[in-house]
A and B are shown apart, each in its own frame.
Chain A
Amino acid sequence: MNAAKRPSSSLTLLLAASAALGGQKSVQADETGSAQSVGYRFNVYDEDAFSGQPVIGSPERYHVDSQQFALDTGVGGRNTLDVNATHEVMSGSSPWYLVPGPGNKPVQVLSGATIRDHRSAVQAAVTHDAGANDTTSVNASYSAERDYHATAIGAEHSMPLNVAVTLACGGSFSHDLIRPTDAELYDRISRAQKNTLSGFGGLTWVLNKASVVESGIQINYQTGYLSDPYKLATVGDVQLPDTRPEKRTEGAWLVRYRYALNADAALHADTRVAANSWGQHSLALEVSWYQRVGGDWQLVPGLRYYAQDSARFYAPFFAADSGGPYFSSDYRLGAFGALAANLNVRKRIGHWEVTAGAERYHSSTSYALGSSGVPDPAIVSYTRVYAGLDFHFD
């Protein structure tokens, strides 16, 4: 055609006029360009201190400062590599066990010393994009702290069944090694491990030009030492180690909905319902609104609701004759619910993109699923703020 010679000025004008209607990109359209970027995030997570209730020990709870580096780059052909590295510094004291107080109300006992620990993690994923929603991805990760090492591998594949429906499936395996600190001093298990096998499958439907819905099932199967070595349960007058079954199976159903109101505004709505073999059920709902403002700004306000009921073997404390064999007073296995509000702001300046955000998470037994029984004083509320900078090479 006219590729060899320079287009005339009239043709240049004609092509320029047609650009917004796709007149210039009829041939290039199916060539995928891989976006390349590097990014940095600083994240502060701060749990509310115990207040207004009797505690034994320091009322200060967990505080985590984390830094994250991310790299997203093409590695030849249609392959992309994503690498994430995280370093976290944790401090504060954690809930240890509960004892019955006046009126049989639970009183929280916190771990004696304020801990200070580090965690480093690296994750890498290679994705091959065969075009038209046909992608295959493999990933691996490693995370290390003084008393905990986790190694995981996974794979995902998504392929179009037809133009409107895409099937995605995947699986992962993780092996965690636990070496609790001060094991002898507190009569903790000295070394333990657990394995997690996960699988998921889902379908994504393009309903029309503006909306997409995704529905999927996820199954997680865990075996090994699933107890928390740093927690105790009060049984009668004594404290016994947190003891949970050595197997746990969880099934979850996820539905995600995306609706683009126009080119600048979109609604994201996600739900997840889950049940596990420990007798717990949970529900999560999340709604976010993506709004572009004035071309370069993006605001993303969101609301989240989460609720669960308690595990079969959970209680703030147990009667001496409650039998067992499993005991846990970990608030994470009790009934509670939470409401969270968050806001993310992004601003693009040339190749740079600045992002900042905050989240307030408030939990309460009154938001729980089903009967909440005795409120666990340890359920956590937190504030999270973060800021980051990305550089896009495109």
Chain B
Amino acid sequence: MSAHVFEFSGMGCPCALHLEADDESVARTARALVFAEVDRLDRKYSHYRDDSLLATLCATAGEPIEVDAETANLLDFAAELHRQSDGLFDITAGRLTRLWDAPGGRVPAADEVAAALRLTGWQRIEWQRPHLRLPLAGVRFDLGGIVKEYAADRCAELCRAAGVKAGVVDLGGDLALIGPHPDGTPWIVGIKAPQATDRAAARIELARGGLATSGDYERALIVDGRRYSHIVDPRTGQPVASFASVSVVADSCLVAGAAATLAMLMGMARGGDYLRELGLPHLCIGNDGRASGDIAR
């Protein structure tokens, strides 16, 4: 049994595939599958690419279009998260997110926020599976919080189908377990510390399922000493005073990612309660570096 680590860049972040396999060719095949799947989902769902399916969907406003089953499943999931979070989780908030996430490093003007808000709101979208119709032109989708996590689960699934039994898929800190080490022992995985991204805030044992982290430690906007989160409340258009990061462990990376994103959106006040209510192991780190949650540091 030999260990393989394949590092690559995907979905705009550093990724790694850790495998333990007897057979070199099995490991290489798994690597090729993972690269291809990440690339496929990135091309299909990236909100940064003008040639993605999402961009195409946005460009066809007015006309009802039929989407494929995978996209329909993601839209159903997003719709359900929108409902469960009273509108906090909203994949139509792409324009708002972009505004606050702009690399220019300035706080957007009130009229810019108001314009983006007019193009935000899942309730404005007509979604009758498999038909999607955007009544407004200019809506921008953002599947952040679900697509990378979904991709991690898919990659783990493909590795298992390829015959790999032990390994971890790491897409920018969102992890999906292929399976425990060959002797059954769990993998030790690190949760990045918000302030020092090369250091682990905690180490936990994982044998299966997934771990996802939502945070704005890498993308927060700091202007005149004030920190603006890129986590934006789609109902007000304003950044949410939230944790520096929220990490959640669940049976799948997708569920972990959804829970972490919802907790981030709920903010310091309600996010922790929500995670406790879910009953999923979690770690929340505040902007002052203080940790809470039931994952030991």
Contact = CB atoms under 8 A, between A and B. Distances in A.
Interface residues of A, number: 31
A8 B279 contact: yes
Nearest to B165: A30
A319 interface: no
Contact of A17 (B77, B154, B162): B77
A20 B274 contact: no
Contacts of B255: 14-15, 18, 23
A238 interface: no
Nearest to B206: A1
A22 B153 contact: yes
Given A14-B278, A18-B77, A162-B26, A26 B210 contact: yes
Interface string A3-22: 00101101101111110111
Contacts of B279: 2, 5, 7-8, 11
B80 interface: yes
Contact of A160 (B76, B163, B209, B280): B163
A28 to B, nearest CB: 10
Interface string A21-49: 11110110110000000000000000000
A30 B165 CA distance: 9
B29 A164 contact: yes
Interface in B129-161: 150, 153-154, 156-158, 160-161
B interface: dominant SS: helix
A17 B80 contact: yes
Nearest to B251: A26
B252 A132 contact: no
Contact of B251 (A8, A23, A160, A162): A23
A349 interface: no
Contact of A21 (B25, B254, B278): B254
A20 B29 contact: no
B252 A163 contact: no
Interface of A: 1-2, 5, 7-8, 10-11, 13-18, 20-24, 26-27, 29-30, 131-132, 160-164, 262-263
Given A2-B280, A2-B281, A23-B251, 18 more contacts: A7-B279, A8-B277, A10-B84, A13-B84, A15-B251, A18-B77, A20-B76, A20-B77, A21-B254, A22-B153, A26-B176, A26-B208, A29-B160, A132-B161, A132-B162, A162-B25, A162-B26, A162-B29
Interface of B: 25-26, 29-30, 33, 69, 73-74, 76-77, 80-81, 84, 150, 153-154, 156-158, 160-163, 165, 176-177, 208-210, 249-255, 258-259, 274, 277-281
8 nearest A-B pairs in the assembled complex, by CB-CB distance:
A17-B80, A163-B162, A23-B252, A162-B29, A20-B73, A23-B254, A26-B252, A132-B163
16 contacts: A1-B280, A11-B279, A13-B84, A14-B84, A17-B76, A18-B255, A20-B73, A21-B74, A22-B157, A22-B254, A23-B153, A23-B254, A132-B163, A162-B29, A163-B162, A262-B69
